[in-house]
Amino acid sequence: MQQRLPTRLDRYPAKMVSRLADKLVSRYAVNAKSILDPFCGSGAVLAAGRRNGIAVTGIDLNPVAGLLSEIKLTGFSLKNATVLANKFVHSARQTKQSFPIQWDSKNYWFTSATVEKYERLRAAGRNLELHKTTDGKAVLLAFALSIRLCSKADQRSPKPFISKKAVATRKGKHFDPYLKICSLLKELGEVYGVESRQNNCQVLLADVTCDKTIPNLIGKHSHIITSPPYINAQDYFRNFKLELHLLEGLLSFRTDEIQECFIGTERGDLLAGISDEQIQRQRDLIPQIKKLAEKSPRSEAIVHHYLHDMGNAFDIIKKCLNRNGIFVLVCGDNLIGGVRIRTWQILRDMLTERGFVLFDSFTDVIKDRMLAPKRCGHKGLIKEEVVLAFRSA
């Protein structure tokens, strides 16, 4: 079992704990030829599969998730990455070249001195083409992990916000990314600083709700084990907006193209592309939606958008699973606008409609998880998750 990592090295919200990932692999995938996690996040399932010598493939829309998962799977040469990191920082110190952060709010989250250093680091990282090698990606991961630590944000919560405590303890202080990057890389090296000799792992950055090329890119798999995002329980763009704006241009993505694409989002025109017939059908099938509609039409739209995205994702994922393959889904409930949504039951029924046959299930009580500080009387914390195991037709 993988050791529990400090948050500064694995700052990913709602991640599957390694204990559960190992249990799922040992219970359902002992003889697996390959495991796919289409919502891989920071890679707990992928790492569990690799520890058992199973070929693994992960998919995620979030570039930060891609960096975390890839380094967990492949490892890196600490010696070579340290040389590269020193060159990265030295170049930023010496050059006057800058690669501006295209974000109007950057000076709200960082001091002007920190912004200047990050923009120099961005220029150095682009010139060194860090994204092209595993060791370079390890340096980029250290760069990404330094961003929250060097911001004005409260360090306790997955979601960046500037609290009264943060103002009292961090205002006016300078947090030097040059120093943080090197120290974080050293810590990463203690966990992942051994290159993997296995070539049976891959991580794909893609939107599983709409990218129909995915089945051709990754082929068929004997097992799928995954925990999809919850309905607006985690705003993944907000959680990672600092990292995404600073990584843009160093990795192949555009923030404005993905910020409304995260499953469970509250952004954008939530009902675009969803037919009136589908909306009415979901209202008829799910009584909670009717209750929610009376309280908050916007919250109802969030649920419709989530179910639309998950339906599209299931259609694409199904094409990636072998006949008689195993699909293991981990999910719980959501509290939306004061209404309890049995998300796991809804997703179970969606998979059953697509020909999957449930053959096993159990409940995993959530404990020993890192939780954000309680704010605004929030009562929506998930107490348990349901594991559902299906066989494909």
Whole-number Cα distances in Å, 256 to 158, 160, 234, 267: 21, 19, 19, 12
Give 342-376 as a DSSP string: -HHHHHHHHHHHTT-EEEEEEEEE--S---PPP-T
Given pLDDT bands bounded at 50, 70 and 90, which one contains residue 379?
A: very low
Q: How do residues 247-289 score in pLDDT, each as one tens digit?
A: 999 999 999 999 999 998 888 899 999 999 999 999 988 888 9
The confidence band for 231, taking pLDDT boundaries of 50, 70 and 90, is confident
**Comparing 208 with 191, which gets the higher pLDDT?**
208
pTM of the predicted model as reported, rounded to 2 decimal places: 0.92
pLDDT computed for residue 371 by the predictor:
44
Rounded-to-10 torsion of CA 97, 103, 104, 106:
-70
Q: What is the pLDDT of residues 319-343, one digit of tens each?
A: 999 999 999 999 998 888 888 899 9
| pLDDT value at 80 more than 90 | yes
Q: Which of 138, 5, 143 is nearest to 74 (CA)?
A: 138
pLDDT at 233 over 70: no
| Residue whose token pair is 């202080």 | 173
How far from chain centre, in Å, is Cα 165? 27
Q: What residue type is assigned to position 199 of the chain?
A: N
